[in-house]
């Protein structure tokens, strides 16, 4: 089972569409009941949770083997994404795929790249990084599907 965070954003919506087409077992994490209702109407399994609520975040990880982490692009990104990775580790999640920025580095002059670099550096080994370039998305999804079926 894959948990998709950021499921209502641009990348999340596309990922959900593709995972559905590929018939991969997943659930979408959303913060609002209205988003839950809209996705459930499309036949998507949904869990309501928030990065700021450790208990709900932990519940969202139930039965999950992989997390596709699409975090918010705002100042608390480093804390929120770090919390997701740590919660996934505690829950026994085997793989975290973090959507990142090209050339992300914790010393970057670009704020967005610096935030992504900080998350990656602080959370180290347990997080696998992902280049969100659209031309690579299909291949990455194929790899996720193959790995999820092997287990």
User: Could you report how far apart the first and last alpha carbons of the chain are, in Å?
Assistant: 10
Write the pLDDT tens digit of every residue in 9-68.
888 999 999 999 999 999 999 999 899 999 999 999 999 999 889 999 999 999 999 999
Across the chain, how many H-helices and E-strands are there?
A: 6, 6
Domain boundaries, the chain: 2-150
pLDDT tens-digit map of 58-116 = 999 999 999 998 887 777 777 888 888 889 989 999 888 887 777 777 788 887 777 77
Q: CB-based contacts of 55: which residues, under 8 Å, 6+ apart?
A: none
User: Quick one: pLDDT at residue 126?
Assistant: 47
Query: Average pLDDT for residues 5-11, to the nearest whole number?
Result: 90
* pLDDT, mean of residues 124-148: 56
Task: Quote the pLDDT of residue 135.
Answer: 45
Distance CA 144, CA 22 (A): 11
Report the pLDDT value the prediction gives residue 147, as an integer from 0 to 100: 62
**Residues 34 and 64: beta-carbon distance below 8 Å:** no
Give whole-number Cα distances, 24 to 4, 33, 38, 53, 111, in Å.
Answer: 12, 24, 20, 27, 34
Question: How does residue 125 score in pLDDT terms, banded at 50, 70 and 90?
Answer: very low
Contact 29, 45 (CB under 8 A): no
**Amino acid 116: pLDDT:** 73
| Domain 2-150 = CATH 3.30.1180.20 | no
Looking at residue 105, what is its pLDDT? 74
- pTM of structure: 0.78
């Amino acid at each position: 089972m894959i948990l998709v965070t950021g499921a209502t954003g641009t990348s999340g919506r596309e990922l959900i569409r593709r995972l559905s087409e590929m018939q991969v077992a997943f659930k979408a994490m959303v913060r609002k009941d209205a988003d839950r209702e809209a996705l459930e109407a499309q036949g998507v399994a949904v869990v309501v949770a928030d990065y700021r609520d450790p208990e709900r975040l932990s519940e969202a990880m139930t039965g999950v083997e992989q997390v596709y982490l699409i975090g918010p692009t705002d100042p608390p990104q480093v804390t929120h994404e770090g919390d997701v990775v740590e919660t996934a580790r505690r829950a026994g999640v085997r793989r975290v795929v973090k959507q990142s920025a090209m050339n992300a580095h914790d010393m970057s002059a670009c704020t967005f790249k610096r935030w992504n670099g900080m998350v990656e550096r602080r959370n180290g080994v347990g997080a696998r990084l992902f280049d969100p370039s659209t031309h690579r998305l299909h291949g990455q999804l194929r790899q996720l599907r193959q790995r999820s079926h092997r287990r």
